[in-house]
């Protein structure tokens, strides 16, 4: 598990109108260290050439130097011009690597118009100083893009990655190696290489309609060669998603994959990634390791250069072991299942709240009857794992019109509770469902009455969200912020928040939606997100678990870290899930492939998370708080 943090200075490079050669765009930058300088080699695009034929925007390869404030890049100038038959219509998307004192700047050459797979090739420009180019060569005799060499020889040979058939899909990321530099532009070499094409492919395609392309030149780590690449989902369809992924290759045999991301860790999200020449596009183009972090450079909307950072150790550990070791399932799961003879929970025990009081962990779970009516059941555990006590009747049941279905006796009720203690009272937020529209309701009880199990002491529930608007997944921040209380809830597909002046919910209602987190289209949480457990205060910020639902309707769990002073601000968010359906009881049930926490308790250094599995049973996972917070480092 790891986080991705976009630079607060993004875009780090934008087009300059005063430079005609980059008036339209400056994007797909590849960084390289030269002494103390960070040089960015990037694609620069002019406005349309109105006095020439064809009337197109022309690209050159330019360079810029990182400014002393380490925020942006300046000293821009053109480095590679289109002046050869194979690149006369443009030079695009450079990748630069230094090897044996020479800088190899690989780029895409456009040799004909209209552009097609027949006239798009890879080329290379050589430089000794990144100031001038000494020679240029066309490389592949076939359609290819995204070429880069490794920064050191492997088994005595120059090693290369490239993307073949980029404009004649399906594209393939491939490996090649050479005895000497001249072999790279040898037509004889490539003719022989092509005859054994299948032996050169990296086998990382997940779906037949994926489009793959090399992004950054390989970066060496102690766990393998780290390669950041472009992954386009649903290529050629109306649901295209441009994502960034990573693969880890064996240090001595780069055709061997030793680890990879299970999906994109970045998709278009920020405004500069959604608005530009080509909306909703991000494209990785370079990477550096610096100060314990991986810097990922990428183009945004074919207009800007941008950068994001990832804690390197967390990232590599996730690649090597894609199964999260943060969440430890209790071997005795499920800890709560429907009991025979109890019709009020015959169709499911799920989605439990949890709260610690009097040395016990109290579990308030949703129970679904044989008539699809939801009530709240009660159980308790001394050790947090095994159930020591469980009620024979519902602890809480529907009482108001907004949680009953008229005179009908099915399909309504009180769902998915979350509980927090504030002062000497316990507040339970839950979904009140009248069979038509779910709303957020709140009821409370004193800790004294709760301990005594005086369930009739629950206050009359109040619906706090408007009628006619679906609203679910709610909890209260357990302490006030600047004199007000914060209510989290889900409107449509996003997690929202609203401030209220008091906890008197007869008068206090939720009528605003301050967006906190939203789906990341194409990622594991790309369809919708919702609050999982109430926030926990830590020195680093408010720790909040949330559930994310993918396009394939798999429910997984992630985490965010919220600002202590303003909990509507997200400081960090996991790029990968903390845990996801893996066991039979999580993947098979009323609803398949669901893990859905609603309760969290911290005991010492251990976090106990209680969750519904497949809308049928209840499990518990434990996590170390320190390890969880480390995964949220930025």
pTM of the model: 0.94
Architecture in CATH for domain 5-320: 5 Propeller (2.115)
Strands 389-390 and 412-422: what pairing? unpaired
Neighbours of 392 (CB within 10 A): 10
pLDDT in tens, 493-531: 999 999 999 999 999 999 889 999 999 999 999 999 999
Cα distance between residue 210 and residue 231, in whole Å: 7
pLDDT the model gives residue 238: 73
> Above 80 in pLDDT, residue 161?
yes
Neighbours of 199 (CB within 10 A): 10
Neighbours of 33 (CB within 10 A): 12
pLDDT the model gives residue 510: 94
Strands 73-80 and 438-446: what pairing? unpaired
CB-hemisphere CA count at 13 Å for 383?
A: 7
> Above 80 in pLDDT, residue 225?
yes
Cα distance between residue 43 and residue 29, in whole Å: 7
pLDDT in tens, 391-402: 999 999 999 999
Beta pairing partners, 135: 126
Per-residue confidence band for 50, with pLDDT thresholds at 50, 70 and 90: confident
What is the pLDDT of the chain when averaged over all its residues? 96
For the segment 304-314, the average pLDDT, to the nearest whole number, is 97
Phi, psi of 195 (to 5 degrees): -65, -20
DSSP characters for 8-71?
TT-SSB---TTSGGGSSEEEEEEEEEETTEEEEEEEEEPPP-TTSSS----EEEEEEEE-TTSS
The token duo for 128 is 């000794």
pLDDT the model gives residue 322: 63
The rounded Cα 530 to chain-centroid distance in angstroms is: 15
Nearest to 264 by CA among 583, 551, 496: 551
Cα distance between residue 309 and residue 620, in whole Å: 33
Residue with tokens 């000794």: 128
pLDDT in tens, 428-438: 999 999 999 99
Domain 328-630 has CATH 2.115.10.20: yes
Share of the chain above pLDDT 90, in %: 92
Asked if 296 contacts 311 with a C-beta cutoff of 8 angstroms, the reply is no
Question: Which residues have a Cβ under 8 Å from the Cβ of 171 and sit 6 or more positions away?
Answer: 163, 164, 165, 211, 212, 213
pLDDT the model gives residue 51: 80
pLDDT the model gives residue 267: 97
Domain with CATH 2.115.10.20 in the chain: 5-320, 328-630
Cα distance between residue 5 and residue 308, in whole Å: 5
> Above 90 in pLDDT, residue 234?
no
- Alpha carbon separation from 394 to 287, 435, 456, 520, 598 (Å, rounded): 56, 20, 11, 38, 18
For the segment 160-176, the average pLDDT, to the nearest whole number, is 95
Whether the bond into 200 is cis, omega within 30 of 0: no
């Amino acid at each position: 598990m790891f986080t991705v943090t976009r630079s607060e200075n993004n875009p780090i490079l934008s087009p300059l109108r005063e430079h005609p050669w980059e008036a339209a765009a400056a994007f797909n930058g590849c960084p390289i260290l030269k002494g103390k300088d960070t040089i960015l080699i990037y694609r620069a695009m002019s406005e349309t050439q109105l006095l020439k034929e064809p009337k197109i925007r022309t690209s050159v390869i330019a360079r810029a130097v990182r400014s002393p404030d380490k925020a942006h890049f300046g000293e821009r100038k053109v480095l590679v011009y289109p002046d050869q038959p194979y690149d006369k219509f443009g030079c695009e998307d450079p990748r630069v690597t230094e090897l044996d004192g020479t800088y190899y700047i690989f780029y895409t050459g456009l040799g004909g118009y209209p552009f097609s797979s027949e006239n798009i090739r890879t080329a290379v420009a050589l430089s000794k100083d990144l100031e001038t180019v000494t020679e240029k060569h066309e490389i592949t005799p076939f359609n290819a893009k995204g070429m880069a060499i490794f920064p050191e020889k492997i088994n005595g040979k120059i090693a290369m990655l490239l993307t073949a058939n980029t404009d004649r899909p399906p594209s393939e990321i491939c490996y090649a190696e050479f005895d000497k530099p001249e072999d790279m532009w040898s037509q004889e070499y490539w003719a022989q290489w092509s005859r054994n094409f299948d032996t050169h492919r990296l086998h990382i395609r997940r779906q037949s309609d994926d489009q793959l392309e090399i992004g950054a030149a390989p970066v060496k780590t102690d766990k393998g060669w780290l390669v950041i690449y472009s992954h386009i989902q649903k290529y050629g369809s109306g649901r295209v998603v441009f994502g960034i992924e990573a693969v880890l290759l064996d240090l001595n045999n780069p055709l061997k994959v030793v680890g990879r991301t299970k999906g994109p860790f970045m998709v278009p999200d920020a405004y500069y990634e959604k608005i530009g020449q080509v909306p909703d596009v991000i494209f990785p183009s370079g990477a550096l390791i610096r100060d314990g972090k991986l810097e990922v450079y990428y183009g945004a909307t074919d207009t800007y250069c941008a950068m994001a950072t990832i804690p390197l150790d967390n990232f590599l550990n996730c690649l090597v072991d894609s199964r999260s070791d943060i969440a430890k399932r209790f071997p005795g799961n499920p800890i709560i299942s429907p009991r025979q003879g109890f019709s009020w929970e015959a169709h499911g025990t799920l989605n439990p709240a949890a709260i610690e009081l009097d040395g016990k962990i109290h579990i308030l779970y949703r129970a679904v009857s044989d008539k699809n009516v939801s009530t709240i059941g009660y159980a308790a555990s001394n050790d947090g794992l095994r159930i020591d006590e469980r009620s024979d009747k519902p602890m809480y049941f529907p009482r108001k019109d907004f949680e009953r279905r008229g005179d009908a006796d099915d399909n309504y009720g009180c769902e998915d509770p979350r509980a927090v203690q504030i002062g000497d009272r316990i507040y339970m937020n839950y979904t009140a469902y009248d069979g038509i529209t779910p709303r957020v309701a709140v009821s409370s009880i004193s800790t004294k009455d709760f301990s005594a199990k005086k369930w009739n002491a629950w206050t009359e529930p109040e619906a706090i969200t408007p009628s006619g608007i679906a609203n679910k997944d709610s909890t209260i921040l357990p302490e006030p912020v600047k004199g007000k209380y914060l209510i989290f809830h889900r409107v449509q597909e996003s997690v929202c928040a609203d401030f209220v002046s008091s906890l008197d919910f007869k008068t206090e209602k939720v009528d605003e939606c301050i967006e906190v987190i939203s789906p990341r289209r194409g990622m594991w949480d790309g369809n919708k997100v919702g609050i999982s457990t109430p926030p926990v205060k830590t020195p680093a910020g408010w720790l909040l678990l949330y559930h994310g639902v993918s396009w394939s309707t798999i429910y997984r769990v992630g985490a965010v870290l919220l600002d202590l002073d303003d909990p509507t601000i997200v400081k960090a968010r996991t790029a990968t899930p903390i845990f996801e359906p893996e066991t039979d009881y999580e993947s098979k049930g009323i609803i398949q492939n669901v893990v859905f926490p609603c309760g969290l308790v911290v005991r010492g250094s251990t976090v106990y998370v209680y969750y519904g599995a497949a809308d049928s049973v209840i499990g518990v996972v434990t996590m170390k708080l320190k390890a969880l917070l480390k995964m949220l480092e930025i």
